[in-house]
Each structure stands twice: as structure tokens, then as C-alpha cells.
Amino acid sequence: MWTADEIAQLCYEHYGARLPKQGKPEPDREWTLLAAIVKIQRPPEKPGPVTKEVVSMGTGTKCIGQSKMRRSGDILNDSHAEIIARRGFQRYLLHQLHLAATMKERSIFVPGTQKGCWKLRPDLFFVFFSSHTPCGDASIIPMLEFEEQPCCPVGRSWTDSYSGEASVHLEAPENKRMCNSSVSPATKKMRLEPRTPVQEVANGVAHHGKPIPPRAWSCDDAVERPTAVTRTDLRGAKVVDVYRTGAKCVPGEAEDPRRPGAAYHQVGLLRVKPGRGDRTCSMSCSDKMARWNVLGCQGALLMHFLEEPIYLSAVVIGKCPYSQEAMERALVGRCQNVSTLPKGFAVQQPNIQQSDLQFEQSRCAVQARKGDSPGRIVPCGAAISWSAVPEQPLDVTANGFPQGTTKKKIGSLQARSRISKVELFRSFQNLLSSMAEDKWPDSLRELDWKWSSWNSN
């Protein structure tokens, strides 16, 4: 029906044609990440060509610290491309529900069996695309001694039997330096530091790793550095290290061993995105995508109107360091023990593939073009959101607010991103206003008393 390269090429073409120059990386100096959600329509008669359409797209690499978070919901806490694309997808779903409720145009939804509820048309499904593996657990990828990037997939039995992997997340150059085995013991010293044992991971996302040893190595210590840990994969190739993710373990939970080489990371753990001095409260993209794989992409508000969650049928990753086993572990394997879900919810098994096509503004592509030219490349500070909606489909933000927002404007309507929580809630209110009250789902009647407190904001 479709190939990974077809999905990647469609997204790259959409990025070049539909997204503005404003918010894109400065050529040969900045890089960014790209994510999108593609609607696939099956042919009415098989066999036949499928119809592919990008319905949401996002770029971005940044995340604000916890000190900048606001209770009003008018700031974007997480501006990684995957999260921007999902927020834009929620805008698209809200618009499609409006079309279904008003019956003005054909919608992706058809009436369900319950009063006021809708369900996705049976000939449609959605594919998620990302130009790079999601930060966090999916980016903890083995480095094989004889291979160049990207890495070949490793066998499942190797990942199951050894949990002390580590990674260098290529899309996070601002992260702290890693402890490389090539560094001389005379120049790098280590210390022993107690670590907590592996605990049960919260929110139903389970890990498959063995308990972390009671002591683990960390940088900047006064004890002689140990030999880097290596392992072999199923083919007998030596795994000398792993790509390290900048995402940090959730405070109070199990921690990374931080040993040299292939024992730097503990796989399967929940992680938060890194902050420069100010810790963030945003979970890694791997963790969020794992949650979407169980609860759907629609969110709690839209679920009032839907009989079934909106799941992603497939995930496509662009050309980058990649491990099929790491992707399946991060998005699916960690959730296998989740149980007692409401009716209609279940752990999904999306089709996970990688494309051979590289994003032209990824860090690797920009670095290759730059070569040995002076100057360093840096992540782009802006994020772009595009959604297939008729009114104001584009949204360019920086530091969680529309680009160009001054401190004096913060708190005003003009300083709100269209995909901020408060604006998505307003779109939800507009959807309710367009419907006769007797058409509302029963679950919303119980919440009616809450609307008035929001109308004044």
C-alpha cells in the first residue's frame, strides 16, 4: 500500500512547500527535527492506489524548564517536533469533528452507535513520521565496532539479556559530555556512587532491564577509571558503546549506571527531557509516544465525542542511527503489562519502519554539508506547527510563545500559540457551541458546570 520512503518523501516535500521560511533553521548553521502525521485512505476497491495526505506537521528541538511553566496553559512546555505534530493533529481532529457535527462538509468521522459520539471512517488510518528516533528510550542504540552510522538493528535476545546500554543522542549536542572509553585514565577520573535498585516504573510503562548494580560509575571522580564495558550481538559483532540520549531518568526512580562504554544507560526507564540548568517536567518523546500507543492521540477532551481512541497504525523514522529492537521496546514492549483499560483501549502494535531518506535540515545532513568549515552548528530555537485546518494553519513559536512575543504581551490573547492547551480548549468550547445541547454526549453534561469558569479567561 505504501513504503517508508514514500511517507518520508511526502513529508519532506510538504515541509519545503507548505512551511514558511520563518522558523526554519538558518542554512548551514542550524538544524532541526521534523515530525508529521499522514492520513492514508484505502482504495474503495482492492487492489488500487492509496491516497496519502499530510494533516499535521511540526518542527522543533526545545523544551522549557519547570520555572517557566504557567498554570494558565498559555505556553508550550514541550516544543519537540513529535509533540508539536501531535498538538497540530488535535487541531485537525477538532476541525473534523466540527464538520461532522454541522454536516457542512465530508468529515473523517461517521456517527457512532452512542448518542453524540463519532468514530473514524473505516477506510482511513494514520501514519506517524519523524526524521529522527524519539528522544529517550528509543534513542538508546548500540554502536557496533565495524559499522558506520546508522547502526544495524540488534537482536532481541541481546537487548533482553543485557540492560546496561548507553547512547549518544545525535540530536542533542548541547548535552553534557559523555565518558568515552578513548579518554586516558590519567585525564579522566571516576568515583563510585551508590545507585538505587530498579523499581517498578509508574504509569503502567514497564521496563525489562535487570536490577542496576548497587554501585555505578559517574564522571569527575577521584578513583581510577575502569575499562569500558563491551558486549557482542547475535552476529558476534562487538558492541563498543551506545548512542546516548540526553533525556534524564525521572527523579526518584531508577537511575542510569553511567558506566563507560555499552553500560552507560539502563534501557526501558521513564525519562524527562534535559534542560540547561533548569530541569524540565516534560517526559521524553519515547515515553509520550508509548502513552499514545495505549491511550490514543486524541486527548481526554476529544474522547468525550469519540467511541474509540485514534491510534497510529504505523511509525516511520527517517535516515538516522536506528535500532528496530530499540523502537519496538520503547513504544510497544514497555507497555505490554498495562491492563484494566477502559473499553475500546488496548496496547497497539504499530508497523514500525525506517526510511533510507534523510531530512535535509537534520543535524547530520547540515554537518555533512558544512564539512570542515569554521563555526559550530546549533539547534534551531524556533518551532513550526502546521495543521490541515482552514483558519490560521501555521504557528511559529520560540520559548513556548509566538515568535516575537515581548514580556509585556505575555498573558494576552496575542501571546498564545494556537496549539497551547488554553487555545485547544477554546477550540473545544467552539465545537460545543456549534452543537445543539441535546446532541451532546452524556459524559459532557456532567461537566457542564465547569465551562463558565473558563469562559472568562
Res 37: pLDDT: 98
Percentage of the chain beyond pLDDT 70 is 77
For every residue of the chain, which 3-state class applies, written as one string?
A: CCCHHHHHHHHHHHHHHHCCCCCCCCCCCEECCEEEEEEEECCCCCCCCCEEEEEEEEECEEECCHHHCCCCCCCCCEEEHHHHHHHHHHHHHHHHHHHHHHCCCCCCEEECCCCCCEEECCCEEEEEEECCCCCCHHHCEEEECCCCCCCCCCCHHHHHHCCCCCCECCCCCCCCCCCCCCCCCCCCEEEEEECCCCCCCHHHCCCCCCCCCCEEEEEEEEEECCCCECEECCCCCEEEEEEECCCEECCCCCCCCCCCECCCCCCCCCEECCCCCCCCCCECHHHHHHHHHHHCCCHHHHHCCECCCCCCCEEEECCCCCCHHHHHHHHCHHHCCCCCCCCCCCCCCCEEEECCCCCCCCHHHHHHHHCCCCCCCEECCEEEEEECCCCCCEEEEECCEECCCCHHHCCCHHHCCCCCHHHHHHHHHHHHHCCCHHHCCHHHHCCHHHHHHHHCC
- Partnered with residue 80 across adjacent β-strands are 61
Res 381: pLDDT: 95
With 50 as the cut, is the pLDDT of residue 188 above it?
Answer: no
pTM of the model: 0.80
pLDDT, one tens digit per residue, over 235-262 is: 556 777 888 888 899 988 888 888 888 7
* Of 63-72, 201-210, 225-234, 265-274, the least confident: 201-210
pLDDT, one tens digit per residue, over 265-313 is: 889 999 999 877 788 999 999 999 999 999 999 999 999 999 999 999 9
Neighbouring CB atoms inside 10 A of 296's CB total 20
Res 45: pLDDT: 73
Cβ neighbourhood burial of 317 (10 Å; 0-12, 13-18, 19+): buried
With 50 as the cut, is the pLDDT of residue 163 above it?
Answer: no
pLDDT, one tens digit per residue, over 440-454 is: 887 777 665 455 444
pLDDT, one tens digit per residue, over 118-131 is: 999 999 999 999 99
Q: What cell does 207 get?
A: 521496563
Res 60: pLDDT: 97
Chain-centroid distance of CA 113 in Å reads: 33
Distance CA 131, CA 164 (A): 26
Residue of 1, 23, 28, 119 whose CA lies nearest to 363: 28
Res 400: pLDDT: 94
With 50 as the cut, is the pLDDT of residue 211 above it?
Answer: no
Grade residue 201 by pLDDT with cuts at 50, 70 and 90: very low
**Residues designated catalytic:** 82
pLDDT, one tens digit per residue, over 380-438 is: 999 999 999 999 999 999 999 999 999 999 999 899 999 999 999 999 999 988 887 77
Say which amino acid occupies 408. Answer: K
- Please give the radius of gyration of the chain, using alpha carbons only, rounded to the nearest integer: 23
pLDDT, averaged across the chain? 81
Distance CA 290, CA 285 (A): 8
Distance CA 324, CA 319 (A): 13
pLDDT, one tens digit per residue, over 57-113 is: 999 999 999 999 999 999 999 999 999 999 999 999 999 999 998 887 899 999 999
Q: Decide which of 187 and 14 is more confident.
A: 14
With 80 as the cut, is the pLDDT of residue 222 above it?
Answer: no
